A and B are shown apart, each in its own frame.
Chain A
Amino acid sequence: MSATPSEVNPVRAFVAQVWGSIFRHGLPTTDKVAARTALTNFFLHIHPVRVKKSAIRVSYTLCLGGLSFFLFIILTITGLFLMFYYIPSVDQAYQNIKDLQFVATFGLVIRNMHRWAAHGMVITVWLHMARVFYQGAYKPPREFNWAIGTLLLLTTLLLSFSGYLLPWDQLAVWAITVGTNMAKYAPIAGPYTRYLLIGGRNVAQGALLRFYVLHVIALPLIGFLLMVVHFWRVRKDGFTGGL
């Protein structure tokens, strides 16, 4: 039996229905459809429908906030990979890191990507803050976003600090000993803060587990929520010039 042009092909109709249920419009060939594409797609709605050419010019400001976010994505993905091998136990953690480097395929690359992206993110976040400060982009109406930004800086630094302990080598243990002893110098709350962080009197199993939970769940989640608000406000407050 041969199909005539007037008949509807059921397979095609099904594919068209599925496609149409996901994408509510045709290819964005005109400005109008392009605008609708950005508005109706979850992934594209983060991007503004209309962008001034001057706003996306990569100038001496180098889009440092975007770079920080890019590094955060790299860190999330590589971190997820590392979690397949890493066990936050004082008996196993160091050996797991060695296994990652010498046993797991691409483990060395992924671990180093995580490490260098982490260093890079601290640098780009600092530079981003400096850029915003020197350009006066913290002034009204952007003062709320500046406050969110300072919290994001703090989250970035805490992520860097908590990740430092996880390889459980000499450098890690003593760096966290020194760091948490600095927290102890704070009046009244100091000793409690230290105990809260390391779950004991010395940097031991309790500290490793607490830092692990902070590093892989608590702080990334806080950072993500703050980023959502941060980007939303960037959209609402508009751009000053280059990114």
Chain B
Amino acid sequence: MALNPYDTPRGKLRMRAESTRRQFLLLMGTIAGLGSLVFGGFKLLGFLFPAATSEAPPQFKTTFTVDDLTGGIDPTTKKARIGANVAGVEGRVNVVLDDAGIYAVYLVCTHLGCTPNYTTGVVAGSGKTDADADRRGVRTQSEQKPNGWACPCHGSRYYIDSTNFYGPAPRPMDWVDISIAPDNHFVVDRSSIVVYRQPGDITPPQWRLDPATGQNNGKTIGV
């Protein structure tokens, strides 16, 4: 009777070695395959994060000039001829003029990112008074208006210095860098935040651009 070579003690040992070797190779192959899938897949995600996008650049020049906003600078007082005012929305930015100078508010609601609208009756129905709104901004010489912004999505409201006072917004809107170009237009840089206030911070920011000198005072917050 022929003997099955795998039935011998040596054969059994060999069979075990072969099967454990197969198991080992299978295990290694599985780890290598899964590993390359995971790492390769993770790197492939980079395809969806392009190195550059065709979005509008964060820096832009306004269509209106410094004089459009200020009515020109009075040579004796070195102040703007127009009182507190707000220019039209451009690139989701409102350029605000008050007695202390000029600043730019980036109109991205801090709740969920809609664009709040400028309004001159911002406190209506909010429980705040016109006097609360008037205390915001520097308006000693200028016409006082209870102005600010109201978000159309979920009703958040902001005073003219972008401090939130009503609705779900968790913190004030950010101020971005604004400067004056040689052709007397404003240059707004939305990628450069000059005032970033944390939730609950209601202090009026002091950062301003002086329209007479074209320089800002550098009083940034939170950046």
Give chain A's interface residues, CB within 8 Å of chain B.
174, 177-178, 181-182, 195-196, 199-202, 204-206, 210
Contacts and interface: CB of A to CB of B under 8 A. Distances in A.
B2 interface: no
Contact of B153 (A174, A200, A210): A174
A196 B153 CA distance: 24
Interface in B52-84: 53-55
B54 A181 contact: no
B88 interface: no
Given A205-B54, A206-B55, A177 B49 contact: no
B114 A200 contact: no
A204 B112 contact: no
Contacts of A204: 55
B50 interface: yes
Give the dominant DSSP class at A's interface: helix
A199 B50 contact: yes
A178 B113 CA distance: 6
Of B50, B53, B113, B114, most buried by chain A (CB within 10 Å of CB) is: B113
B48 interface: yes
B49 A196 contact: yes
B199 to A, nearest CB: 14
Contacts of B53: 199-201, 206
Nearest to A182: B112
Nearest to B190: A201
Given A177-B113, A182-B112, A196-B49, 4 more contacts: A174-B153, A177-B112, A206-B54, A206-B55
Contacts of A200: 53, 55
Contacts of A202: 55
Contacts of A182: 112
A200 B113 CA distance: 14
Contact of B48 (A196, A201, A205): A196
B49 A178 contact: no
Contacts of B112: 177-178, 181-182
Nearest to A184: B113
A205 to B, nearest CB: 7
A64 to B, nearest CB: 33
B56 to A, nearest CB: 8
A209 to B, nearest CB: 11
Given A177-B114, A178-B114, A195 B153 contact: no
A84 to B, nearest CB: 27
12 contacts: A174-B114, A174-B153, A177-B112, A178-B113, A181-B113, A196-B45, A196-B49, A199-B53, A200-B53, A200-B55, A201-B55, A204-B55
A199 B45 CA distance: 12
A216 B55 CA distance: 24
A197 to B, nearest CB: 9
A78 B50 CA distance: 33
Contacts of B153: 174, 178
A178 B83 CA distance: 35
A202 to B, nearest CB: 6
A64 B96 CA distance: 56
A91 to B, nearest CB: 13
A240 B55 CA distance: 54
A231 B193 CA distance: 54
Interface in B109-123: 112-114
